[in-house]
Structure 1
Amino acid sequence: MTMIVPLSYAITPIPPESGFSGFINIGAGVTTVESNTLAESGSIELGNKTITSLNKSPNSETSGLPVLGLEIAYTFASTQTQVFFGNQLEDFIRFDFSARGGIRQKIGNAGVIGISFVETPLATEVWEDPFVTGSERTSSERTSSGYRLIWDKIYGSGLELRYSSREVDIDKERSGEALGLSAADRTLLDRNGDRNRFSVQYTFKWNENKHIVTPVIAYTDQDLDGGAVAYDGLSLSVNYIYSVNRWKFITNTTYAELKYDEINPVFSDKADSSRVGASFTAFYNKPFGWNWTANAGVVWFQENSDIDFYDSSVSLVNIGMLYQF
């Protein structure tokens, strides 16, 4: 399951002067998750330890969680080069808390090129064997690491290209063991592998940037070792930013269709699915005269699979305070 959350601003422009820059956000939220495959993230429970049937959609778990993010960058103005570490502001607004370290470089009129290495600082726990019924399931760490390439403001236009690749590793992969599946069938359920994503987006601005609309088309290839859990598909998103006075409102909608490679040996069917998501985030600059930006948002995501076991949903409500320097 992937959380679909709002797109944000384009890459933060490289400052014209040398020195440090960045942001920090401190906040909190409440999330409700329905998933038969996720266990927990940190101390936040995401799924039920015990299930009684493989033919039902998951129950929900509601938890509070901290919403923290930061980035520290240093700019070399003479070469228009910037090195950075942390959560990029564009990712924070998408609630993607992967840690990134990398470099951004302005290439004359060609635009801005960026490369970053990505690591998940806090592993997500999944079930070693999600198909255990009638007794408590055991969780296992799932980590991912990789890199991301970005080419933004291509020749002064609103065009941006992105490519990312991550390796997904589950510490103890035992899917299907409790069902006594053959070695060949268990191999079809292996969730280790690679995730590749390529996207194209174009930003339209008018009325002195009061309105900003960014449509995005993306192709995702979840190239996992198990053919029954590997998939690929296209997603379409539209991001709208409206600014007025000290307010900024960001709305995003997303739809995706995913096709799985092989039949799942547990259910004798493919887990083809559709995903739909929407989010809304509001920012208010300098509340009470403070040099911070208050923010609040809601996120909703749902995946409907041809196999009920793999249905999932996420909803999130959050508030926070953002400081940029």
Structure 2
Amino acid sequence: MKYVHIAVGLLLTTYSSMSSAQLAPEAGISGNFSVLTAMSSTNSNLSTTVDAYSPNSEQKRDEEFIGAALGNITYTFGEELDQQIFIGTSREDIATGLISLEMGYRYLTDAGTQVSLAFLPTVLTDEVWQDPYNFDTSRAKTDRTGNAYLLSFSHINGSPYSVDIGFANVKIDEEKSGQTHLEESQQKLMNRNAHSYFGKLSYQEMLTASSGYSVSLRYLHHDTEGDAMVYDHLSAEGTWFKFHNRHRFAATLTTGLSKYEIDNPIFEEQRSDAQYSAFGAYEFASLFGFEDLSFVSLVSYNNHRSNIDFYSFDEYFFSAGFNIPF
């Protein structure tokens, strides 16, 4: 998945309505619109925001300032207000650091299960290096494109359990990984074009009328054309959230491990990674006395450690902005 740590809202509205017998209070169009500014910093060798020239694979930190306008729209219909069409940025994903455009259909069954089928056309779209391992000259950029498809069963039969199943494809326009160091036969082992298969099991519960938590286990199999880039990823995540008057808080901790199938021909060893992430989200409602205006902010830190130093990095992010529901 594409981790661009931008936050314009909180996931808390989802928890407050988890036992609702309807998808929305009334039929018709609703949603929210957000404007934000953000600052991010990373020293990842794979990030195209750092210097194109990386002699001896030296890591260099880069800061980036971002401005964006985001939001989502839902249309609720049906005699029991049990159907929705939605498009925009997922609020749940935003609050935990993952941003993407999604569009799809949601249905609430008589048993209380929310069934969603979503298409995410931009979740894997960004710029990457044609050959990230070119340490001799300036690296050239190329486009990475991809689509993802997600089937979700939320609050199954009215319970705290949810299941997500996903599939994605990745295409690198000019894939030249390892071209400057490897023979053609070995270069093929580094090909990043891929299909990914994703599963997630979640549990969420209210502790009091104004606070609760969620925990989840995730599994990802990333099946690339190059055998050296194939990996399995397993992660665990926990989120705590709290409402207090006009204040809303959420904190998320994530830890994960990735294991690659065969030795990396450039670094001549089998890669394994460990990831630790922390996110803190805050929302202040009724800003300046306006009921439909709130201040939102998110701070995040991600530490990614690999037994191959080239892939190790850390990044942090801060955002602040305004959200308007409608």
Which structure 2 residues correspond to residues 90-169 of structure 1 after superposition, within 5 A?
90-120=92-122, 123-169=125-171
2:41 counterpart letter in structure 1 = T
> 2: distance between equivalents of 1:62 and 1:127?
18
**Counterpart contact for 2:2–2:98, Cα < 8 Å:** no
Q: Give CA-to-partner distance per residue, 1:154-205, whole Å, 9 cap, x none.
A: 11111111112111111100011111x2222111101110122211111110
Q: Deviations over 1:95-124 (max 9, x none)?
A: 433211100000111411000111118931
CA distance in 1, matches of 2:229, 2:183: 17
State the alpha-carbon separation in 2 of the partners of residues 31 and 123 from structure 1: 19
After TM superposition, give the deviation of residue 4 of structure 1 in Å. 8.4
Whether the 8 Å CA contact 1:3–1:314 is kept in 2: the answer is: no
1:248-287 → structure 2 map (5 Å cutoff): 248-287=248-287
Q: Is the 8 A contact 1:4 1:278 kept in 2?
A: no
Once the 2 structures are TM-superposed, how far is the Cα of residue 242 of structure 1 from its aligned partner?
Answer: 1.1
Alpha-carbon RMSD: 1.9
Aligned to 2:83: 81
Identical residues among aligned pairs (%)? 24
Aligned to 1:8: 11
Aligned residues: 315
The reply on whether 1:311 has 2:312 as its aligned counterpart is yes
| 1:33 alignment partner, one of 34, 38, 42 | 42
Residues in 2 aligned to 1:47 and 1:260: alpha-carbon distance in whole angstroms: 25
CA distance in 1, matches of 2:132, 2:123: 24
Gaps of 5+ in 2: none
Match of 2:224 in 1: 224
Give structure 1 stretches of 5+ with no counterpart: 40-45
Does the 8 Å CA contact 1:125/1:140 hold for their aligned counterparts? yes
Q: Give the structure-1-normalised TM-score.
A: 0.92
Other structure's SS at 2:55 match? coil
Higher mean C-alpha deviation, range 108-117 or range 120-129: 120-129
Do the aligned residues in 2 keep the contact of 1:69 with 1:97 (CA within 8 Å)? Answer: no
| 8 Å Cα contact 1:4/1:254 also seen in 2 | no
Contact 1:124/1:141 (CA < 8 Å) preserved in 2?
yes
- 2:199 & 2:91 partners in 1: Cα distance? 20
1:36 maps to amino acid = N
Amino acid aligned to 1:215: V
Distance 1:77 1:19 in 2: 10
Q: TM-score, normalised to structure 2's length?
A: 0.91
AA paired with 1:158?
P
